[in-house]
Each structure stands twice: as C-alpha cells, then as structure tokens.
Amino acid sequence: MALPSTGSISLSQVAVEISRAGTAQTALGEAAVRNLAGLPSGAIGLINLRGKSAAIIYTASNLARLNLATAFGADYGAAVDKRLVVPAGITLGPVTIPTGLGGTLTVENAGEIQGLGGAGNGGAGGDAITALVSFALLNTGAVRGGGGGLGGTGGQGSVASTTSNWVRRTGSGALSSNGWTLVFVSPNIFARNDRGVYSRIFITGGGFMFFTPQGGFPSPWAVNALLEAAPGQQVFIATLPGPPLSANYDYIDDFVSSTSTTYTFGGAGGAGGRGRGYGQTLAAGGSGASGGTNAGTGGAGGVGGDWGQAGASGSAGANGNHSSGAAGASGGAAGRAVRMLAGSLTLTNTGTINGAT
C-alpha cells in the first residue's frame, strides 16, 4: 500500500512500507528510506515520501487479456507487495490472477476491466477478473461481464396425400352376386356396376360370347374379356346366336383411393444475440427459420445480455398443424465482475461494478 499523498505521515508508516514492523527504529537518511523516496543523497524529509510505495508496480495499457503472472514476470512469486494500476482511459479485457503470488496484491482500477461478451446461442458472459489468490480491488472505474439467447423450434406440420390403386376385392363366382346387376335386353346382356367404385371384371360365361363397353361395337367370338365400369355404368355383353348366357367372373378389381399423412419439420429457432463484452457490442437475436408445409416458423433468438446481465430467452416457435412450437431456450448466464476461485476479495468501490463479485 502506498504512503499517504495528503494528511499526516509518520516514520512508523514508512517502516511498514519498507516491510518492517511499525515500531522498528527507522531513520530518514538510511538507504532503504532514501531508495523509497528516490533521493540517494541530499536533504530528505517526510514530504519526499508522500505517495511513495515499496511495492512493485505494473501500469497497464490497452490489452485484450492480462495475466498478472506474465505481467510481473519473475517478481510475481517474490515476497514483495505488488500493485496493478489501470489508469483512466485504459480498457483491459479479462484479467487473470493465478496461483503463486508472493506478497500482497492491490488492483487500482480507474479505467475499465471488461469480461468477454457471451457468444450467440446462449453463450455465458465472461468474467472481468478471475482470481485464485486473495487480493484488494480499489475501483474508481468500471468492472464488467455479459451473455446471449436462442429461439424455440417451430411446431411440426402434417400433409395428407391421396393415392389410388387397383385392389383385388373378390374371387370367382356369379357376377350378379357381387355388386353387379345383369340386365337382359334380348338378345343382349348388359352388366351394370352397382359396387359404388370404379371396377374392372374378367368375365367368363361359356358359349360364344363377346364384350365391349356400352355404345361400342362388339368384338365377335370373344369368349373372355376384361371390362371396366364406373359406378352405375353399364357394359355390353352380347351372345350370338341363341339365348343369353349367365355371366360368371374370375375376379373383380376395384380402383380405390387411400390417404396417407407425412409430417414436416418446424423451423429452427433464430440464433441468440451476443452479449456485450470486451471489444464486442450488444446484438439482438436472429429471426427463426420458416418451417415445412403446415409447420410453424422458429422463434426469434433472444437479445444478448448487457454488462453483467444474462441474455434474454428466445421466443417460442409458432405452432404447426400437428404440434405446438417449442419454448425458446434460455439466454446465457451473466459474467461476473470478479470470480474468486480461491482466496478472498477486499473491495473498495466508488466506481461501477456490473456483475457479481
């Protein structure tokens, strides 16, 4: 800790600053005191010691990251007090204070120390200071952190489709007993389709028979024929010579329709907005993607978190005609101003702290 810049100052305070007991005998002219004052010779008084510090001082410039073991180098583990000074107007990215510190550490921040902003899609905000040892923070500037969010998936849709195929419905037998009516108009036979569906029959009857759709010309001397008829339509069966014969069939097929359902996917949720952080502005979430046919559109991504705040959750996806849209995912967690993984923090704050300490 530096000696007072104003107010009273005593030799006992000077003794403590040069790592002695406060009651230890200390003279202004001795070498340790002159080294502290920066006056190797000549007149010296307590006024020359105001604001002086025996600590090793590292004054930061604008940096994206700062590891104090790297900053102090070989002195980091020395049993000497250390000070990190962040002047006004200087912005630092995340600061790491690792294990292995010797002496005490004071961080004097008059500028900005900023954690990284959370990545889009729910990334957690970064911590401004991460410490594995005890230290003191004298903050007159700002220490900050941030996060992101994600949209929900749209609801699933469904699409019905119709297909039509010939389906074998019956075996052989008498035509008139299987949904067909034989109409005798001498010397001809008409078969009328009463099945209610478009059907085809393969007819056999014995004798000399020939067949054709109603209104056409007979095909003479045909013994067998495949005829097709819509519901209620008649097909013509002729017999020459002689009386009409009973018509039999080998099979009847019906042309039937069936409906099947396929499902389409809901649209993906929009990307979550990134959180505010070192070198990174706050951003809104992206729009959700369109879904398939009859499916819901994905929800919009949530707005990224501001300094020390969690990202907003994404919007729910829109409903499809088969299922409801999914809820939006949660935003990323807020970054901390100071994260103490070990040790304790002594905080003196007259500035701004965004995020937990």
Count of C-beta atoms within a 10 Å radius of residue 346: 11
> 131, 341 in Cβ contact below 8 A?
yes
Q: How far apart are CA 210 and CA 276, in angstroms?
A: 88
> In terms of pLDDT, which residue wins out, 245 or 91?
91
Neighbouring CB atoms inside 10 A of 220's CB total 10
pLDDT digit string, tens, across residues 228-237: 888 988 877 6
Distance CA 175, CA 250 (A): 9
pLDDT of residue 345: 94
| pLDDT, tens digit (0-9, with 9 covering 90-100), for 161-208 | 788 888 888 778 777 778 888 777 666 677 788 988 898 887 665 443
Q: Assign 60 a pLDDT band (cuts: 50, 70, 90).
A: very high
Q: How large is the C-alpha radius of gyration of the chain?
A: 46
* Residue 97's pLDDT band (cuts 50, 70, 90): very high
What is the arithmetic mean of pLDDT over 50-70? 90
Alpha-carbon distance 93 to 74, whole Å? 23
Tokens of 129: 């200071």
Model confidence at 224, pLDDT cuts 50, 70, 90, reads low
**For 17, how many CA atoms within 13 A lie in the half-sphere containing its CB?**
25
Q: Nearest Cα to 135, choosing from 110, 103, 104, 93?
A: 104
Spatial distance between the Cα atoms of 94 and 254, rounded to a whole number of angstroms = 77
Q: Six-digit token pair at 237?
A: 């069966």
Which of 281, 334, 330, 272 is CA-nearest to residue 303?
272
Residue 183, CA distances (Å) to 88, 192, 231, 238, 245 in order: 108, 7, 15, 11, 12
The model carries a pTM of: 0.59
Higher-confidence position of 333 and 13: 13
Q: Is the pLDDT at 276 greater than 90, yes or no? A: no
Residue 222: per-residue pLDDT: 47
Mean pLDDT to the nearest integer, 293-306: 84
The helix (H) or strand (E) run that includes residue 349 is strand 345-349
What per-residue confidence (pLDDT) applies to 217? 44
